[in-house]
Chain A
């Protein structure tokens, strides 16, 4: 069958899955848990009735998290539409920053403004100043979900299609399979369409940047990435690799000739983009500073809630949060992050190829996730995007990591009542990626790049490393399935109320750490010869 028809069918299916996830309502969780537990616990008295552990999602416990992000976005539409630009980031009588104040860079505000214009034309009640707080109706929910779908359709999905068709190698069948698995990644679907966010926009813009750099259009790539940065400040996780890649490329071209010209062009593009986005705010330096203060709040702690990074996992054994002062916490995390990021970025500087760039993106964002300050569990999406780019080259590790990343966000999904979509999309992703990309069949030491591990374990020459890796994969999938089941079906003992979320984050953390070490090793080892002549520059 022709590629275009397969591609369009994949895209349509991806859109159906996204919309299907967004149809899910809040209350499925309650009764699904009850149904499961009732069916399973017939006669078993040690499984308590689940209503007890669902007390944190009962109506009396304040606004549920899902409606948090949803209401925040709706409120930003209200604020940007009704108030003049100068007041968006300031605490005024009209704009109460304590109630979901704007804390993303200006491009998010402009996007909210556009959505607000559309909302106003459909139903002015949706964005009425003050009166529309907490507004919920089926039509409004439909509208908000539709805005996410439209944004995905315009920005994220075309970037993925173009990347898979033009920047991956293999037969067209393999490219379409990669495209399908990329679009089916559950984490992004569940967060954007279940939890409600616009990650598709920022990740889409970043992906356009990667795409442009892969095709050799450096200025356009920088433009796209700057737009991504101006949409969500968390894209800074990806900033170092972009910088090192372009700098390394300029150095390679010669700092006295074309390299300098390239550097100047990129610098002017970056400055120009930033100036364009921040133009309305630059008239008053105080204004700009206020925006920066809103975007980078430094008053919060080392980590909030349970997240699968080093500090939270370390906190289980050594109470880091209480031992160190808040200043030393900042310095410690800064030092560790820089140390973790340095090798990968230096390697990229010296060898600015597209393959190194992709690996550096993954390594740098993973380093930030693992060691940085005030990391949210949703930030794993910033790591997932570069790893999706590696689906074609390192299928087993990529699928493994993507599955683990979805699993790490499971407590969040459960809180939002997304159990069924979580199970369905995770199963579908795992099954179809293994079936279409057949990572377990082409599993040898060469394809898995286990050369360095072989050298390290020289004293055990008979060890079949590929076999070990395959079994680690099976065990990890079984562990994630088991922990998911246990978290849903069982009630934790009363003296360890956070047992299950911590088990989930610790398991995920171990897998992330392993991936981090592996990807760094891969970045430093020589690529196999058959790949080097096909990779772009």
Chain B
């Protein structure tokens, strides 16, 4: 597929979006943060104060270093800046150390490292096909994608309230995807390897990468009907890939479920969009069936799906269901009363925007979602009121304290499973010609 780059000069709206969200993040510096804050402070201390050989042995804190080495080096480089804010936080024995300087540094580090995410989003927006006729800015797919990525509710809430470095990591993922969409496969593979060495949860996406690169990069030609031409195998390319991607192997349940999707990637057309679809199925499959999955892992599926959603009508429908359900499932992460207005307001903002923008983008006959799906999403309101307001104030709070969490998880699981099935169906259905938007 030929990708048309977004017209140069049309991206004057990107800096305001990026700056606006960064300024908003600065307002949350003093909001609630979870134990992940202490986790990262501890890793700053470990990497700063101890020799490398002790990094993965140190266990005076219960939050031992459990990310791959590249992340440890990342924390090490951050620690050099941290010492100017509050050197006490870099002492390993200062468990649960919280000072205004430490809070400020950690929060600002997330805001600044989000620069990688902003760069990744820029690259993805450049890969989006623009429609032929000139539309006004708000209706362009690249603008909608930029908002859906930069102002993503889940990322804002998990990174800047709960506290994590997902923006930084997802930046690498988006860059890798963008490179693949631009057919720069080696660069994409390199970025993915870096990502794998930053956080191993992305192993769930490795099968998709493996099969796609093997099929579309190592086999340089196809037969006319799309099946593989075995004679066109290029050992050089395979070696190049192998040299870059060293740890691609499937370890958990997810990839087994993704098997039919992987087969389709092998047998079907070579396009990078099909790759993106299979990647999504791997991520979502691992989320549904994996071992010790965090609710934050739903972002692994939501963010790449944004890229497909602005281009394809069917994907936009799946995106709306998955995003709304997935984002709502993050609500139990922020259980403090002070952050309640923030999560409700931000969720409303993002939901209103995604619905109206995608509907405008894919304006045409028929609706994006079926009536049952609309009813399900409207039901989320009732679930929200029940779990956030009614149940905590009722007498059952003492006897059944986990009931709100149970209701939330069960209700959202229906939506996530449904999105998974929709994605699978859209992949295995014979490929339609991409509609002109």
Does A34 count as interface, using CB distance less than 8 angstroms?
yes
Does B297 count as interface, using CB distance less than 8 angstroms?
no
Known: A8-B352, A13-B349, A16-B342. A28 touches B29 (CB 8 A): yes
Interface stretch among B252-260, B271-279, B353-361, B416-424?
Answer: B353-361
Which residues from B are CB-within-8-Å of A20? Answer: 24, 27-28, 31, 342
Q: How far is the CA of A17 from the CA of B346 in the complex (A)?
A: 10
Which residues from A are CB-within-8-Å of B23? Answer: 424, 427-428
A12 touches B348 (CB 8 A): yes
B84 touches A39 (CB 8 A): yes
Does B68 count as interface, using CB distance less than 8 angstroms?
no
A435 touches B16 (CB 8 A): yes
A31 touches B349 (CB 8 A): no
A420 touches B20 (CB 8 A): no
Known: A31-B104, A428-B20. A9 touches B353 (CB 8 A): yes
A19 touches B356 (CB 8 A): no
B341 touches A5 (CB 8 A): no
Does A32 count as interface, using CB distance less than 8 angstroms?
yes
A24 touches B352 (CB 8 A): no
B139 touches A16 (CB 8 A): no
Which residues from B are CB-within-8-Å of A142? Answer: 337-338
CB distance from B413 to the nearest CB of A (A): 28
Which of B26, B29, B84, B342 is within 8 Å of A35, CB to CB?
A: B84
B349 touches A12 (CB 8 A): yes
Q: How far is the CA of A193 from the CA of B84 in the complex (A)?
A: 31
Which residues from A are CB-within-8-Å of B139? Answer: 1
Does A493 count as interface, using CB distance less than 8 angstroms?
no
B345 touches A31 (CB 8 A): no
Known: A24-B30, A38-B84, A149-B341. A5 touches B356 (CB 8 A): yes
Which residues from A are CB-within-8-Å of B26? Answer: 420, 424
Which of A15, A32, A149 is within 8 Å of B104, CB to CB?
A: A32
Interface size on A, residues (CB 8 A): 38
Within 8 A of B (CB), among A4-47: 5, 8-9, 12-13, 15-17, 19-21, 23-25, 27-28, 30-32, 34-35, 38-39
CB distance from B344 to the nearest CB of A (A): 9
Q: How far is the CA of A1 from the CA of B353 in the complex (A)?
A: 9
CB distance from A6 to the nearest CB of B (A): 8
Within 8 A of B (CB), among A120-151: 138-139, 142, 146, 149
Within 8 A of B (CB), among A422-445: 424, 427-428, 431-432, 435
**In this complex, which of B31, B337, B341 has the most chain A Cβ atoms within 10 angstroms of its Cβ?**
B341
Q: How far is the CA of A432 from the CA of B13 in the complex (A)?
A: 11
Does A2 count as interface, using CB distance less than 8 angstroms?
yes
Q: How far is the CA of A34 from the CA of B85 in the complex (A)?
A: 8
Known: A9-B349, A16-B349, A428-B20. A35 touches B104 (CB 8 A): yes
Known: A12-B349, A17-B27, A19-B345. A1 touches B99 (CB 8 A): no
Within 8 A of B (CB), among A166-187: none
B24 touches A1 (CB 8 A): no
Which residues from A are CB-within-8-Å of B24? Answer: 13, 16-17, 20
Does A421 count as interface, using CB distance less than 8 angstroms?
yes
Does B406 count as interface, using CB distance less than 8 angstroms?
no
Which residues from B are CB-within-8-Å of A139? Answer: 337
Does B210 count as interface, using CB distance less than 8 angstroms?
no
A31 touches B99 (CB 8 A): yes
Q: How far is the CA of A31 from the CA of B337 in the complex (A)?
A: 26
Q: How far is the CA of A24 from the CA of B27 in the complex (A)?
A: 8
A34 touches B101 (CB 8 A): yes
CB distance from A22 to the nearest CB of B (A): 9
A432 touches B20 (CB 8 A): yes
Does B100 count as interface, using CB distance less than 8 angstroms?
yes
User: Which residue from chain A places its CB closest to the CB of B31 in the assembled complex?
Assistant: A23
Which of B84, B104, B345, B356 is within 8 Å of A16, CB to CB?
A: B345
Known: A2-B356, A35-B85, A420-B29. A138 touches B16 (CB 8 A): no
CB distance from B255 to the nearest CB of A (A): 39
Q: How far is the CA of A24 from the CA of B104 in the complex (A)?
A: 12
Which residues from A are CB-within-8-Å of B28? Answer: 20, 23
A424 touches B27 (CB 8 A): yes
User: Which residue from chain B places its CB closest to the CB of A145 in the assembled complex?
Assistant: B338
A269-297 toward B: CB 8 Å interface, digit per residue (1/0)? 00000000000000000000000000000
Does B5 count as interface, using CB distance less than 8 angstroms?
no
Does B407 count as interface, using CB distance less than 8 angstroms?
no
Does B390 count as interface, using CB distance less than 8 angstroms?
no
Does B50 count as interface, using CB distance less than 8 angstroms?
no
Does B249 count as interface, using CB distance less than 8 angstroms?
no
Does B333 count as interface, using CB distance less than 8 angstroms?
no
Which residues from A are CB-within-8-Å of B414? Answer: none
User: Which residue from chain B places its CB closest to the CB of A141 in the assembled complex?
Assistant: B338
Which residues from A are CB-within-8-Å of B84? Answer: 35, 38-39
Q: How far is the CA of A342 from the CA of B85 in the complex (A)?
A: 55
A203-247 toward B: CB 8 Å interface, digit per residue (1/0)? 000000000000000000000000000000000000000000000
Does B138 count as interface, using CB distance less than 8 angstroms?
yes
A431 touches B19 (CB 8 A): yes
User: Which residue from chain B places its CB closest to the CB of A431 in the assembled complex?
Assistant: B19
**In this complex, which of A1, A32, A142, A432 has the most chain B Cβ atoms within 10 angstroms of its Cβ?**
A1
Q: How far is the CA of A35 from the CA of B24 in the complex (A)?
A: 21
User: Which residue from chain A places its CB closest to the CB of B105 in the assembled complex?
Assistant: A35
CB distance from A18 to the nearest CB of B (A): 9
User: Which residue from chain B places its CB closest to the CB of A17 in the assembled complex?
Assistant: B27
CB distance from B363 to the nearest CB of A (A): 11
Which residues from A are CB-within-8-Å of B348? Answer: 8, 12
B345 touches A23 (CB 8 A): no
Within 8 A of A (CB), among B76-112: 84-86, 99-101, 104-105
B342 touches A19 (CB 8 A): yes
CB distance from B360 to the nearest CB of A (A): 6
CB distance from A401 to the nearest CB of B (A): 22
Q: How far is the CA of A161 from the CA of B301 in the complex (A)?
A: 37
Q: How far is the CA of A2 from the CA of B356 in the complex (A)?
A: 8
Contact sample, A vs B, 25 pairs, CB 8 Å cutoff = A1-B138, A1-B356, A5-B352, A9-B352, A12-B348, A13-B24, A16-B346, A16-B349, A19-B342, A20-B24, A20-B27, A20-B28, A23-B28, A23-B338, A28-B29, A30-B100, A31-B86, A31-B104, A35-B104, A38-B84, A142-B338, A424-B26, A424-B27, A431-B16, A432-B16
9 more CB-based (< 8 A) A-B contacts, given A5-B352, A146-B341, A428-B20: A1-B360, A12-B345, A12-B349, A16-B341, A19-B345, A24-B30, A31-B86, A35-B101, A432-B20
Enumerate the 8 nearest inter-chain pairs by beta-carbon distance, A residue then B residue, closest first.
A20-B27, A31-B100, A5-B356, A12-B349, A31-B101, A16-B345, A428-B23, A424-B26
List the interface of chain B (C-beta within 8 A of A).
16, 19-20, 23-24, 26-31, 84-86, 99-101, 104-105, 138-139, 337-338, 341-342, 345-346, 348-349, 352-353, 356-357, 360
